[in-house]
Structure 1
Amino acid sequence: MNNQDQGNGSEVFLNKVKANQANLKSNLRSSYDFIVCGSGSSGSVVARRLAEIENASVLLLEAGGLDEIATVSEPNQWPLNIGSERDWAFAAHPSRHLNGRSMGLPMGKLLGGGSSINAMIWSRGHKSDWDFFAEESGDPSWSYESILRTYQRIEDWHGSPDPSYRGTGGTVFVQPAPDPHPMALAMLVGAKSVGIPVFDSPNGIMVEGAGGSSIVDTRIRNGKRLSIFRTYIFPYMDRPNLTVLPNTLVSKVLFEGKRATGVEVVHEGKTIRIGAGHEVILSLGAFNTPKVLMQSGVGDQAELQRFGIPLVQHLPGVGQNFQDHIAASCIWESEQDIVMRNNGCEATVFWKSDPSLPEPDVQPLLLEFPYPSPDVAGSYPPPQRGWSLFATLIRPKSTGYIRLTGPAPSDPLEIHSNTLAHPDDVRALIRSVELCREIGNSAALRPFAKREVVPGKLPASQMDQFVRNAAVSYCHETCTSKMGRDAMSVVDSHLKVYGVENLRIADGSIMPRITTGNTMAPCVVIGERAAEIIKTRHRASSEAISAGIPR
């Protein structure tokens, strides 16, 4: 029985989980061996792998609530989670590059984090992404060759056999979107008609070269979402060494000198302190990870002094280098109702906005429903029946930053996304829109289109304004605590925070550069890498103690 079968398993197992976790919560310990902050696509992986260590106590903290909600489990209802209580609902500071707009920045706030509210697309990232990670960190274990082996080890692939790229029997069930909508298949034909090759999968040879088109790989099984929390954590929640604590906000990391000793949290309206015997791992995402670091005294000294936060370690890169994928919707009206299948976005393209580029930088994606930005919807009301091609920029050159507005956990962040600040990003996004129009108006998709609603054929100046008004976040916020070796790096190749002990970061914030495509799969790999590193250190420490060697 694999993890997914057990995780979705019997009433007996469910009752065992509830009883065990109720007991663990009512008898919270003052200290655990490992504290993992955040139950998203990286944190759930880290907590599970550390709970596999015999006799190691693990505490997994999550600010959000439970995930037993229809809009979470039903794949085609994921858009309903955006803006709900399951979304942190961050927003960027109004920007002149977006014509004064404040762009929403959704992030998951519940067990499973983003993996419980996202579109369930499994996208590994391009070969060049991982080789860049290896170069920046100086560690070949982050290279594509190494990471490919990790993907093969963890995947349980249910598609066409491909032993050179895919693994079977692993923890993570992945399959191509089953029985895709005819429109998705037509999109591939449309892509081929404009010179884009079609592949069996977006995660094999397609991510080693110039790109192509494919039906997406999904984290959906038997018509239900598979979040990373449900895959990694839930099957272990009947065990006595793994405590999962939702509705618990991490406010700061506790230090003795330069050594992390635990965390301060707000739980059931009370502020409590919990010790960590070995390590604290921050997996809170691209906004909350740097926020907690700064509120704990780790960050730019001048920024911390603004709010009287005592300095633990000067790291000016904390909160810098923010990156995100940006998209603009091209929308068509249809004659008939479009009944969404699977996740409602079953076909994708990775391509170059300029043939001279070394790898893809744009990603048209089919959405089986209209999805305009609020500003575009005001000028061009979406049709009652329709669909979109999401014109996405996946290699942004614009970078942003975040700042504290106060020292308290309740003080909001000030987020400067700088979206479309770089002129090359505007050009690439316009080309992505043009590519979507070419595919969307192709003969293959004509049977599904009554008319093109937006943007239509526009002169250059109007197209520039369209993308600035239409741009929305693809919800892949990353890179604010980057891994590297320069003065702005926050963690080293082992994800250890520079200058302090017993503190690591494992989430999308450690990316030196945002990966090509949806970020869930790379965040799982980051969690796996962190767990490998920590377990190796723990094993060496235990062996040293057994041999009587001082640590």
Structure 2
Amino acid sequence: MTSDTPAGRAQAIGRQLDHIEARLMAGHLDRRGFIRMATMLGVGTLAATTMADKALAIGANQAELKRELQPRYDYIVCGSGSSGSVVARRLAEDTGVQVLLLEAGGAADAPSILNPAVWYTNIGGPFDWGYKTMPRPGLNNRSIAMPMGKAIGGGSSINATVWARGHKNDYDRWARETGDPAWGYQHVLEIFKRIEDRQGEPDPARRGKGGLVFMQPAPDASPLAPAMVQGCAAIGIPAFADHNGAMMEGAGGAAIANLCIGKDGRRRNVPSHYLYPIMDQPNLTILTQALVHKVTLQGKKAVGVEFEWDGRVRKIGVAREVVLSTGAINTPRILMASGIGDAKELVRLGTPVVANLPGVGQNFQDHTMVAACMWEPPEQAPARNNSAEATFFWKSDPKLPTPDLQPFQIEIPFSSEITSKQAVPTAWTIGPGIVQPKTRGFLRFTSTDPKAGVEIHAKVLEHPDDMAAMRKAIELCREIGNSAPMKPFVKREVMPGPIKGAELDDFIRNAAVSYFHATCTAKMGKDKMSVVDAKLRVHGVQDLRIADGSVMPHITTGNTMAPCVIIGERLAEIVKAG
């Protein structure tokens, strides 16, 4: 977002406020100095005073809790991402319980995190675990990045801020596979309505207002975004005012994206909604730079966690339950290190078998995007908001029950390491994406060392139906990009052009990248490959649950942050219900 727009100026002020607030919490600025500087930035005296008092209370409380770590907590939550932050918040709402939250990364106050327009610069950086897939034929033996957030907020701190609920059919399918109707759309919709604080056109039947999670249709969007929605309409994909709601109960459509970006233009990650408001409570201890090694067990009962923090390995006990919320790669890693997984693989690694669960690390699913459908404009338009403000969901085959395509209009020349050689610096992109993949990959662990590598066999595009869907996605994106509503923004099509057959397939394999939605590696269900049951309890292990994207039996239709929040909310409901 540029600083010459009202939203851009608000974002610049917001970044300055974040900087001085961080200095205040760290003890490098006093209360009076903060209030003076905040008022100079245009914050009212009362609001500045409230901000200062909250930040000081949080800083003092968390510092004291870290100095006085307890030998045992009622709950230990591992991971502060889109599910873990929710779980920790909901459990700590009962002030009679003590909650310990462990996060392997650090604070989420870096400019590249706070500024949503540059989210892509975090890929491969200090806030990313840095995972890559194994080379495989579906990608012409390329290895691609598999970003996972390593900071407070996990993926919600480095993603593109998109709040995409998924399709109605996704949740009804979960309900069927788990045998629990509470995972179905009817109940999940009620959770969404309760937690959302959606701005924009009201839809009380489907959308929430006044909840914890602030989101809005991209404000002051680039002219490219509504033009793409109009381009979709020109080829028969209907336009909607909301990319969630009614659009995701039917055949799909096009809309301006819902984004978790505040009125000040800054990223609103999941902890900003859930954790920050209660970090001054004495029953919530948050440790950053705390790398979980394994769950400690007595027989088949979880009794605590072993983790590395402040220069040494520690063990802390748990009175009630351990909750793993460390994501689709690290959750299986921790399970395997704890003796929970495929018995043959555990024996190979030299780990005693506690629970033989062959589904750990299997069923890997992700969304795939082709980073290369690109147009050069007559003149460059600066990116705004998250640099990706419009999207559509559609079916590659009308007979499908659920949309399987989700391209995004991206206001920069988004490309792979191969297609970047043809990219134009001023170009914009429509990224074809498939979101109902039939490919199923797997993880293979090379060691129980928590810092050792993991082999990610994503098997991208190795199912022929996925390649067929991607061909259709490219066809649609080219039609839209070359449509009449987009002509004011097109000097020429950069790539791919009207290529067909083997040449198109080669282009796809060279341009494909991850959509950054790794999931499904510890799925819930009742079959022999499931890892948790409908109440998110690990099969065969007492007092251990999982709440993150790994428990999805099938990946949702669209960006996965919002569904991961639902998983956290569902676990909290289940635990509180006893």
What is the deviation of 1:83? 1.2
What is the deviation of 1:9? 6.1
Q: State the partner residue of 1:57.
A: 98
Q: Distance in 2 between matches of 1:324 and 1:191?
A: 25
Q: State the partner residue of 1:547.
A: none
What is the deviation of 1:269? 2.1
Tell whether the 8 Å contact from 1:253 to 1:292 is kept in structure 2 after alignment: yes
Q: What TM-score do the two structures reach when normalised by structure 2?
A: 0.91
Tell whether the 8 Å contact from 2:197 to 2:215 is kept in structure 1 after alignment: yes
Which of residues 350, 369, 372 in structure 1 aligns to 2:393? 350
Q: State the partner residue of 1:542.
A: none
Which of residues 264, 275, 290 in structure 2 aligns to 1:248? 290
Q: Structure 2: where are the runs of 5+ without partners?
A: 1-42
Tell whether the 8 Å contact from 1:7 to 1:230 is kept in structure 2 after alignment: no
Tell whether the 8 Å contact from 1:7 to 1:231 is kept in structure 2 after alignment: no
Q: Distance in 1 between matches of 2:90 and 2:403?
A: 33
Tell whether the 8 Å contact from 2:296 to 2:338 is kept in structure 1 after alignment: yes
> C-alpha offsets along residues 90-140 of structure 1, whole Å, 9 cap, x if unaligned?
001110111110111011000000001111110001011000000000000
Q: State the partner residue of 1:409.
A: 450
Q: State the partner residue of 2:52.
A: 11
Tell whether the 8 Å contact from 1:7 to 1:234 is kept in structure 2 after alignment: no
Q: State the partner residue of 1:418.
A: 459
Q: Distance in 2 between matches of 1:102 and 1:476?
A: 16
Paired residue secondary structure (1:224): coil
Question: Does 2:300 align with 1:258?
Answer: yes
Tell whether the 8 Å contact from 2:333 to 2:448 is kept in structure 1 after alignment: no
What is the deviation of 1:384? 1.7
What is the deviation of 1:181? 1.1
Q: State the partner residue of 1:122.
A: 163
1:27 partner amino acid: E
Tell whether the 8 Å contact from 1:94 to 1:100 is kept in structure 2 after alignment: yes
1:213 partner amino acid: A
> C-alpha offsets along residues 379-423 of structure 1, whole Å, 9 cap, x if unaligned?
x2x112110001001000001000110121121111100101100
Tell whether the 8 Å contact from 1:153 to 1:170 is kept in structure 2 after alignment: yes
Q: Distance in 2 between matches of 1:307 and 1:216?
A: 45
Q: How has the CA–CA distance of structure 1 residues 536 and 230 changed in structure 2, closer, same or farther, with 3 Å as cutoff?
A: same
What is the deviation of 1:54? 2.4
**Deviating runs (4+, > 2 A) in structure 1?**
5-9
Q: Distance in 1 between matches of 2:167 and 2:207?
A: 15
> C-alpha offsets along residues 188-242 of structure 1, whole Å, 9 cap, x if unaligned?
1100000000011011111011100001111111211100011100111111000
1:296 partner amino acid: S
Q: State the partner residue of 1:237.
A: 279
Which of residues 91, 97, 100 in structure 1 aligns to 2:132? 91
Tell whether the 8 Å contact from 1:364 to 1:435 is kept in structure 2 after alignment: no
> C-alpha offsets along residues 431-457 of structure 1, whole Å, 9 cap, x if unaligned?
111111000111111111111111111
Which of residues 513, 516, 521 in structure 2 aligns to 1:480? 521
Paired residue secondary structure (2:121): helix
Q: Distance in 2 between matches of 1:81 and 1:54?
A: 36
1:482 partner amino acid: K
Paired residue secondary structure (2:432): strand
Q: How has the CA–CA distance of structure 1 residues 9 and 321 changed in structure 2, closer, same or farther, with 3 Å as cutoff?
A: farther
What is the deviation of 1:180? 1.2
Paired residue secondary structure (1:354): coil
Q: Distance in 2 between matches of 1:364 and 1:238?
A: 41
2:136 partner amino acid: S
Which of residues 504, 513, 523 in structure 2 aligns to 1:463? 504
What is the deviation of 1:337? 1.9
Question: Does 2:193 align with 1:152?
Answer: yes
Q: State the partner residue of 2:172.
A: 131
Q: Distance in 2 between matches of 1:384 and 1:400?
A: 34
Q: Distance in 1 between matches of 2:274 and 2:48?
A: 8
Tell whether the 8 Å contact from 1:171 to 1:232 is kept in structure 2 after alignment: yes
What is the deviation of 1:62? 0.4
2:385 partner amino acid: N
Q: What TM-score do the two structures reach when normalised by structure 1?
A: 0.95
Q: State the partner residue of 1:544.
A: none
Paired residue secondary structure (2:86): helix
Q: State the partner residue of 2:14.
A: none
Question: Does 2:418 align with 1:375?
Answer: yes
> C-alpha offsets along residues 60-111 of structure 1, whole Å, 9 cap, x if unaligned?
1000111111111111121111111100110011101111101110110000
Question: Does 2:243 align with 1:202?
Answer: yes
Q: How has the CA–CA distance of structure 1 residues 254 and 326 changed in structure 2, closer, same or farther, with 3 Å as cutoff?
A: same
What is the deviation of 1:7? 13
Q: Structure 1: where are the runs of 5+ without partners?
A: 538-551
Which of residues 347, 365, 384 in structure 2 aligns to 1:341? 384
Q: State the partner residue of 1:364.
A: 407
Q: State the partner residue of 1:524.
A: 565
Paired residue secondary structure (2:255): strand
2:196 partner amino acid: E
What is the deviation of 1:169? 1.2
Question: Does 2:223 align with 1:191?
Answer: no
Q: Distance in 2 between matches of 1:135 and 1:8?
A: 51
Tell whether the 8 Å contact from 1:7 to 1:235 is kept in structure 2 after alignment: no
Q: How has the CA–CA distance of structure 1 residues 9 and 453 changed in structure 2, closer, same or farther, with 3 Å as cutoff?
A: farther
Paired residue secondary structure (1:499): coil
1:244 partner amino acid: I
Q: Distance in 1 between matches of 2:366 and 2:522?
A: 14
> C-alpha offsets along residues 449-485 of structure 1, whole Å, 9 cap, x if unaligned?
1111111110211111111111000000000000111
What is the deviation of 1:534? 1.1
Q: Distance in 1 between matches of 2:169 and 2:363?
A: 19
Question: Does 2:257 align with 1:216?
Answer: yes
Tell whether the 8 Å contact from 1:202 to 1:216 is kept in structure 2 after alignment: yes
Q: State the partner residue of 1:548.
A: none
Which of residues 280, 289, 309 in structure 1 aligns to 2:351? 309
Q: Percent identity?
A: 53
Q: Distance in 2 between matches of 1:286 and 1:143?
A: 22
